[in-house]
Amino acid sequence: MFLWVLLPETQLNYFKIILMRFLPFVITILTIMNSNLNAQSGHRNPLTEEEKHVILHKGTERPWTGKYLENKESGIYTCKWCDAPLYRSKDKFDSHCGWPSFDDEIPGAVERRQDADGLRTEILCANCGGHLGHVFEGEGFTKKNTRHCVNSISLNFKPLQQTVQSSTTETAIFACGCFWGVEHYFKRATGVISTEVGYTGGTKANPTYEEVCSHSTGHVEAIRVTFDPSKTSYEELAKLFFEIHDPTQTNGQGPDIGPQYLSEVFYLNEDQKITTERLIGILKQKGLRVATKVRPATTFWPAEEYHQDYYSKTGGMPYCHFRTARF
């Protein structure tokens, strides 16, 4: 605590910015160090018969069935048997081969060995020797020209999102039409640290844009906002939400018609729910027939990369979102 007292305000703000920027990196290192301690201690997790078939007896799980095939969360993939860290989420890519693919491993984590068939190269956990899969080179999927084809059943996953989330930041999730325009406004709001567009509220895991647009998954286009509560509040962001779209429209937003464009708030705690309902009450008192739904947050699936920060990339401007003072 004494550090905060001694630092001048300008230096303190700078220190906080540096801390927030490097916090995910520090936590990644700590996660790897903790996993390494477990692995080096000789720790081994109990395995099911199915896991033994792959990890100990070098079997292969059926393609397109693996738990982590379509996982896009940020985190560290570790060995199922000994917990040694093996792969980082940033090195994972979609090769459409039916198994999780990585174009790099954590240095020293994976051992390569000539396969018994004499044709392929087997990859194993360098700590415990557990079978992971095979590695292929020269396919041209990524610039590294390497594909680690790994069985999901050989892995565990440690997400960073919840760990990185600290008391210095909070999160809000809103849906109010095409997420391109929504992000345009939120990323410019005071106190917002980061924004990410995606899909939520539906039934299918990891939906694609095309699937959401087909109206078969139940998702809406949404934005996840990470903000600094010392510089703004959930209420201020919720007010912005209600002012950049028409909360009375029941069939979409502006010219974008369809259930994926409905107005919804996904609250992460009771305070967010109460605040949202109070603001809706104010709008109703002003004569607005608010159609916005208020629902508990469910899994938020990040949208494809080309949707992220769309207008900044293209130089365009929102066509169905315009701010109107309502409070």
Say which residues have a Cβ less than 8 Å from residue 131's Cβ, sequence separation at least 6.
Answer: 54, 55, 56, 57, 58, 59, 122, 124, 151, 154
Average pLDDT over residues 18-37: 49
pLDDT at 210: 95
Q: Are residues 173 and 310 in the same domain?
A: yes
DSSP string, 44-82: -----HHHHHHHTT---PPTT--TTTT---SEEEEETTT
Of 118, 140, 159, the position where a domain reaches its end is 159
User: Catalytic one among 79, 125, 178, 320?
Assistant: 178
Interatomic CA distance for residues 57 and 125, integer angstroms = 14
- 128 is annotated as an active-site residue: no
Amino acid at 249: Q
Q: Is 303 helix (H, G, I), strand (E, B) or coil?
A: coil
Q: Are residues 57 and 108 in the same domain?
A: yes
User: Catalytic one among 82, 125, 128, 149?
Assistant: 149
Q: Please determine, for residue 3, whether its predicted confidence score (pLDDT) is greater than 50.
A: no
How many domains does the chain divide into? Answer: 2
Q: Are residues 242 and 308 in the same domain?
A: yes
| Residue 61 within a domain | yes
Q: Are residues 224 and 310 in the same domain?
A: yes
Interatomic CA distance for residues 141 and 151, integer angstroms = 19
Q: Tokens 């395995």 sit at which residue?
A: 47
| Residue 325 within a domain | no
Per-residue pLDDT tens for 5-21? 444 444 444 444 454 55
pLDDT at 36: 46
Per-residue pLDDT tens for 78-133? 999 999 999 999 999 999 999 999 999 998 899 999 988 889 999 999 989 999 99
> Residue 289 phi/psi, 5° resolution?
-90, 80
Q: Are residues 65 and 109 in the same domain?
A: yes
- 149 is annotated as an active-site residue: yes
Per-residue pLDDT tens for 176-202? 999 999 999 998 999 888 899 999 999
Q: In which domain, by residue range, is 124 found?
A: 40-159
Q: Please determine, for residue 39, whether its predicted confidence score (pLDDT) is greater than 70.
A: no
Q: Are residues 258 and 275 in the same domain?
A: yes
Average pLDDT over residues 304-325: 88
Q: Are residues 132 and 201 in the same domain?
A: no
pTM: 0.52
Tokens of 296: 């508990």
Cβ 169 vs Cβ 192: under 8 Å:
no
Q: Are residues 140 and 236 in the same domain?
A: no
Q: Are residues 45 and 113 in the same domain?
A: yes
Q: Are residues 151 and 181 in the same domain?
A: no
Q: Mean of the per-residue pLDDT values for the chain?
A: 86
